[in-house]
A and B are shown apart, each in its own frame.
Chain A
């Protein structure tokens, strides 16, 4: 125990003397939580529409005002020629072209059907698809209204119309920030913990100080604990800062128990630190450790279920989620923070993460050798 005391004293001294690390720990989580949730928003807005109106009737005027009245579309041009509108897609000025054919109104009233043509710029697939879907929605609604008007003339019967209404549980206003903030916090905790532990130990290898330590009768597990405890504490600091930011800025207060939240983070940090430690035992230089960590972090983040839902991934990718610790944290944070899940809800995840922690640390401990 005395040895650990000396190790901790040394480690904390070194950390607080290193300004860039202190900055990393304090400012990175705050800045990222302040900025990222605003940008990482799935709602597609500002879809640029090039209109080709060849009818110029009161009906088309009404349709156009409906489109521009919704919050999703900007009408960037109104032309009579389709070619011209098409060129604006080519030059990326427009995402959609909506063609209203000549005699739109007349044919609609007379034949009861009419065709509108929608051309989509699918380079940005998400925007185009969602844009087209929104546009169809607007047109459908408009069409519904027209039908009622046309049919109700002369007859007094209103056609039966069924509408589906939604209620969004746990995120009633469908705010993407509520959805993103816990996920971004999960990434931050993982990055800070993983990188700090991996780089710190490799740095000692690189500078040569580890040799001076290895030649002392220090116990392996003492040395490792002396490294883990400071980063575990820092991980908790980052997490707490993150919770404060999400409360002050986004008004997100965990619905579930804080104790449960910290309990899970405590175990999770052990797993992440163990991973960093493992990487450091296989790396000789900070550069190597950095690249290895980046590789895994990219995979963890992009396949962690934050940016794309796990359920829509191909099956093999869903399998990899099982060995992605970050995906568990993202899920559990959302569960506790947004849904107020209780201990029994997260037990399976907690056990998995505990297994990760034991496995990774055990492996690292075996692979860390005082004698080569």
Chain B
């Protein structure tokens, strides 16, 4: 039995009368790439924010990296990385300054920061723009930088909320190479996406409709289960059932 790093049990979040996430139950195993699919407004981001300790659940239980999401949010935060949907590095700082800042507040020592900086810049091919303000970088570069900063402290799990939205196909591919590399280094990847070709890259997938998880399996099994040719078709069959207005 492989180690479970995320364990969610009937996790629910309500905003007034609106149930954004409705009693979702699932497990994520160490080292896997877990795809978290769903139409816009299905409740993916809400679920992810609860798991990251940014949002308190209304009910249900969950453990992330072995820590309780009610009481031990700060311990969770030491063990996870998070890349939100909205680009959220400091645009008025340079590439190097951003790396240094986040490395610093994750508690890396000066030498680690220095090594990480060189490694990242080299790895992402940012040498020529290392002293440029982040605001001036193209979106694809920003996203790759954001991802690398989210795992700068070698977390156990990294949460990626639509990391490749609006990015060109070539950069998306490079981005997924980074994801594979991280997974290869033992980082569990929890990722939401709207691109079904990306869904195929995941080890296992869950598909949310109206706040509930309607399907959860490997891409291959899901296609068999729904008698579909592609993930596109699986998603379409499920998402069509949605009654929630966007």
Chain A residues near B (Cβ < 8 Å): 2-3, 5-7, 9-10, 13-14, 17-18, 207-209, 211-218, 370-372
In contact, B90 and A217 (Cβ under 8 angstroms): no
Interface residues of B in 88-117 (CB under 8 A from A): 88-93, 97, 100-102, 104-107
Check B55–A215 contact: CB distance below 8 A: no
Q: Which residue of B lies closest to A369 (CB)?
A: B56
Residue B53 CB within 8 A of the other chain? yes
Please state if A212 and B55 are interface contacts (CB–CB under 8 Å).
no
Query: A230 → chain B, closest Cβ, in Å?
Result: 14
CB distance from B52 to the nearest CB of A (A): 5
From residue A284, how far is it (CB to closest CB) to chain B in Å? 14
Give the chain B neighbours of A9 by CB distance below 8 A: 100-101
Q: Is B143 an interface residue (CB 8 A)?
A: no
Q: Check if B101 sits within 8 Å of A6, measured CB to CB.
A: yes
For the complex, give the distance between the alpha carbons of A214 and B102 in Å: 12
B51 to chain A, nearest CB (A): 11
> What would be 18 A-B contacts, judged by CB atoms less than 8 Å apart?
A2-B104, A2-B107, A3-B104, A6-B104, A10-B97, A13-B92, A207-B91, A208-B88, A211-B82, A211-B84, A216-B77, A216-B105, A217-B75, A217-B78, A370-B54, A370-B73, A371-B53, A371-B56
Is B93 touching A7 in the complex (CB atoms < 8 A)? Answer: no
| Contact status B105-A215, CB under 8 Å | no
Asked whether, in the complex, the Cβ of A372 is within 8 Å of the Cβ of B55, the reply is yes
B54 contacts A372, C-beta separation under 8 Å: yes
- Let me know if A208 and B55 touch, CB within 8 A: no
B80 within 8 A of A: yes
**10 additional contacts, CB 8 Å, given A9-B100, A211-B82?**
A2-B107, A3-B105, A10-B90, A13-B92, A207-B91, A208-B84, A215-B52, A215-B53, A216-B102, A370-B54
Complexed CA–CA distance, A215 and B102 (Å): 11
| Interface pair B82/A215, CB less than 8 Å apart | yes
- Residues on B with beta carbons closer than 8 Å to the beta carbon of A213: 105
Name the residue of chain B whose CB is nearest to the CB of A215: B82
Q: Report which of B54, B90, B104, B107 forms a contact with A5, defined as CB distance below 8 A.
A: B104
CB pair A7 B105 closer than 8 Å: yes
Query: In this assembly, does B87 line the interface, its C-beta being within 8 Å of a C-beta of chain A?
Result: yes
- Give which listed residue, A5, A17, A208, contacts B87 with CB less than 8 A: A208
Select which of B54, B56, B87, B105 is within 8 A of A6 by beta carbon: B105
- How many angstroms from the CA of A10 to the CA of B94 in the assembled complex? 10
Binding site secondary structure of chain A: helix
Closest to A210 in B: B88
> Closest approach, in angstroms, between the C-beta of B64 and any C-beta of chain A?
12
Number of interface residues of B (CB under 8 A): 30
Give the CA-CA distance A3 to B113 in the complex, in Å. Answer: 13
Partner of B88, one of A6, A7, A207, A371: A207
In the complex, the answer to whether A14 meets B90 with C-beta atoms within 8 Å is: yes
Tell yes or no: B74 within 8 A of A by CB: yes
In the assembled complex, how far is the CB of residue B39 from the closest CB belonging to chain A, in whole angstroms? 22
Check if B89 sits within 8 Å of A215, measured CB to CB: no
Q: Which of A7, A17, A215 makes the CB contact (< 8 A) with B54?
A: A215
Q: Are A217 and B106 in contact (CB under 8 A)?
A: yes
Q: How far is the CB of A228 from chain B (nearest CB, A)?
A: 17
Query: Nearest residue in B to A5 (C-beta to C-beta)?
Result: B104
Give CA–CA (A208, B93) in the complex, Å. Answer: 15
The verdict on A209 contacting B88 (CB below 8 Å), with A214-B54, A215-B82, A216-B102 known, is yes
Chain A residues, CB < 8 A from B56: 371-372
Distance in angstroms between the alpha carbons of A209 and B90 in the assembled complex: 7
Nearest residue, chain A, Cβ from B53? A371
B78 to chain A, nearest CB (A): 4
By beta carbon, the residue of chain A nearest B109 is A2
Chain B residues near A214: list those with CB within 8 A.
54
Residues of A within 8 A of B91 (CB): 207
**Contact (Cβ within 8 A) A14 B53:** no
Measured between beta carbons, the chain A residues less than 8 angstroms from B90 are: 10, 14, 209
A98 to B112, CA, bound (A): 86
A195 to chain B, nearest CB (A): 18
Report yes or no: B105 in contact with A218, Cβ–Cβ below 8 A.
yes
> Could you say which residues of chain A place their CB within 8 Å of the CB of B74?
217
In the complex, what distance in Å separates the CA atom of A9 from the CA atom of B101?
8
In contact, A14 and B88 (Cβ under 8 angstroms): no
Indicate if B240 sits at the interface (CB-CB under 8 A): no
Does B101 lie within 8 Å of A215, measured CB to CB? Answer: no
Asked whether B244 is an interface residue with its Cβ less than 8 Å from the other chain, the reply is: no
- Residue from B84, B87, B92 having most chain A Cβ neighbours under 10 A: B92
Please, how many angstroms separate the alpha-carbon atoms of A216 and B82 in the complex?
9
Docked Cα-Cα span, A217 to B52, in Å, equals 11
Q: In the docked arrangement, what's the CA distance between A13 and B104, Å?
A: 15
Give, as a whole number of angstroms, the nearest-CB distance from B42 to chain A: 20
Closest to B85 in A: A208
B77 lies within 8 A of A211 (CB): no
Who on chain A is nearest to B69 by CB? Answer: A371
**Interface contact A217-B107, CB-CB below 8 Å:** yes
Asked if residues A211 and B104 are in contact (CB atoms below 8 Å), the reply is no
A200 to nearest B CB, angstroms? Answer: 12
Whole-angstrom distance from the CB of A329 to the nearest CB of chain B?
A: 32
- Are A18 and B104 in contact (CB-based, < 8 A)? no
B107: which A residues are within 8 A, CB to CB?
Answer: 2-3, 217
| Given known A371-B73, A372-B55, contact A14–B84 (CB-CB < 8 A) | no
Of listed B56, B77, B105, residue having the most chain A CB within 10 A: B105
